[in-house]
Structure 1
Amino acid sequence: MSVAIIDYGAGNLKSAAKALAFAGRASNTDVVVTADPDQVAKADRIVLPGVGAFAECKRGLESKPGIVAALCEAVLQRGRPFLGICVGMQLMASVGVEYGEHPGLGWIKGRVVRLTPKDPALKIPQMGWNDLVLRRPQHPLFAGLASGVHGYFVHSYHYLVEDPAHLLAEVEYGGRVAAAIGRDNLAGVQFHPEKSQQVGLRLLANFLAWKP
């Protein structure tokens, strides 16, 4: 099995690659970090990481010749399983409003807006561990996991999903915050699996085994 991690200058690529390789060690998984659209088009699984501002990440993605087209072909037309991580998840939205309004990929309708916890004592960004509440515990990504397991978060903006059916998991941070979203062969997590220890490795292994 081949896994392409998209390299567009945003994300902790080495950690993500190591975690995916470890999670797929029993299935002879070949993980490659790449900006080559041909490699993306041929991959069995595609991962889009992301750290930073929405608009900056979108520009970085669009700056890689052929990458967006290869992503759309592989994911939307060929149905290859896709996982977005942190801002990589947010880029699936219709629009992000960090430093102005900027269009996302539009794969799962929704808006990415600033975190505004009801409790003023809660700091922005949300940084650290938080308990996941699984809204669709039957989703293949959550095999062997249950509400109450921890994910590691670092973010100042969050995804408001338009269709509640696309909300897979959430956390409480002065209000409900989307922790995982998905539809069809698409999935995204706001937390960092590569920093979430055994929970993150289990989720990545589930992603590698996922057959939408």
Structure 2
Amino acid sequence: MNVTIVDYNSGNISSVINSFKEVAKDSVNIEVTSDFNKIKSSDKIVLPGQGSFKSCIDALNSINGLVDTLSEFAINNKKPLLGICVGLQMFADIGYEETETKGLGWITGKVSKINNQNGRYKLPHIGWNQINILKDSKIFKDIDNNSHMYFVHSYEFIPEDKKVISATTNYSSNIVCSVEKENIFGTQFHPEKSDKIGLQIIQNFINL
């Protein structure tokens, strides 16, 4: 089986690569690339994202044809894709970080700044927080509700269809921290930085 981590120059993704390689057994080939043919022939794709919504979208768009290749993989061919952090946020139609920016449009919704209640909550939201699992998502197999995950973000994804939300975390309000729509999965938290529980989520995605 081939799992491709999309490398589109969006910041340091070494911890994502290391975690997937740690979890992957000999039968799983982990490839790190933006090569279209390798992406197309993959069984699963991981879309990491670090930095701002705009910088990640710009980086994707700077590789001519990459967005179309990813959309063909996830939307047309319905193969499993996991977005991490801004990788999840980019599923939205639109994001408002830095400036209004068009997203991938895979899950209807927007990405807005977390309401920190006039400074009562620090932004970015950094550190460990409990997640509230709302539906029986395949990537939460053997994960206990209220498990702690590691977060680093100031913006949140607000999907129109609440049925896609698989988990939330409470930080000033209930923030969407995981989504599942058919073959598309996303986590706002960083499974690659969330210790053994995060590795279990990576394992679950590989096992899909």
Q: What CA distance in whole angstroms lies between the structure 1 residues aligned with 2:65 and 2:35? A: 8
| Aligned-partner Cα distance in 2 for 1:108–1:75 | 11
Q: Kindly state the Cα deviation for residue 66 of structure 1 after the two structures are TM-superposed.
A: 2.1
Q: Return 5+ residue gaps in structure 1 as ranges.
A: none
For 2:197 and 2:159, how far apart are their aligned partners in 1? 24
Contact 2:137 2:180 in 1 (8 A): no
Residue 181 (structure 1) aligned to one of 172, 179, 185: 179
Name 2:204's counterpart in structure 1. Answer: 206
Q: Greater CA deviation, 180-189 or 114-123?
A: 114-123
User: Are 1:14 and 2:26 an aligned pair?
Assistant: no
Deviation at 1:65, TM superposition (A): 2.5
1:117 corresponds to which residue? 116
Q: Residue 150 of structure 1 aligns to which amino acid in structure 2? A: H
1:11 deviates by 3.9
Cα distance in 1 between the residues matched to 2:61 and 2:80? 21
CA distance in 1 between counterparts of 2:31 and 2:11 reads: 14
In structure 1, the partner of 2:66 is 67
Is it true that 1:46 corresponds to 2:72 in the alignment?
no
Correspondence 1:161 to 2:159: yes
How big is the shift at 1:206? 0.4
Q: Paired residue for 1:150?
A: 148
Structure 2 residue ranges without an equivalent (≥5): none
> Does structure 2 conserve the Cα–Cα contact (< 8 Å) formed by 1:4 and 1:43?
yes
Q: Which moved further from structure 2: 47-56 or 3-12?
A: 3-12
Q: Any idea what the Cα deviations from partners look like across 1:80-105, whole Å, max 9, x if unmatched?
A: 10000000000000100112211100
Task: Please give the alpha-carbon distance, in whole angstroms, between the structure 1 residues aligned to 2:50 and 2:78.
Answer: 25
Matched pairs, number: 208
1:107 alignment partner AA: W
Question: Helix, strand or coil for the counterpart of 2:5?
Answer: strand
Q: TM (normalized to structure 1)?
A: 0.95
Partner of residue 131, structure 2? 132
Q: Is the 8 A contact 1:118 1:175 kept in 2?
A: no
- Answer yes or no: is the 8 Å Cα contact 1:45–1:80 preserved in 2: yes
Once the two structures are aligned, what percentage of the paired residues are identical?
36
The secondary structure found in structure 2 opposite 1:148 is coil
Which deviates more from structure 2 when the two are superposed, residues 100-109 or residues 111-120?
Answer: 111-120
| Alignment check: 8 A CA contact 2:130 2:147 kept | yes
- SS of the residue corresponding to residue 172 of structure 2 reads coil
SS of the residue 1:15 aligns to: helix
Aligned to 1:79: 78
Find the aligned partners of 2:35 and 2:184 in 1 and give their Cα distance. Answer: 21
Instruction: List 4+ stretches of structure 1 deviating above 2 A.
Output: 117-121
Amino acid at match of 2:96: V
Instruction: State the match for 1:107 in structure 2.
Output: 106
Q: Displacement, 1:119?
A: 7.2
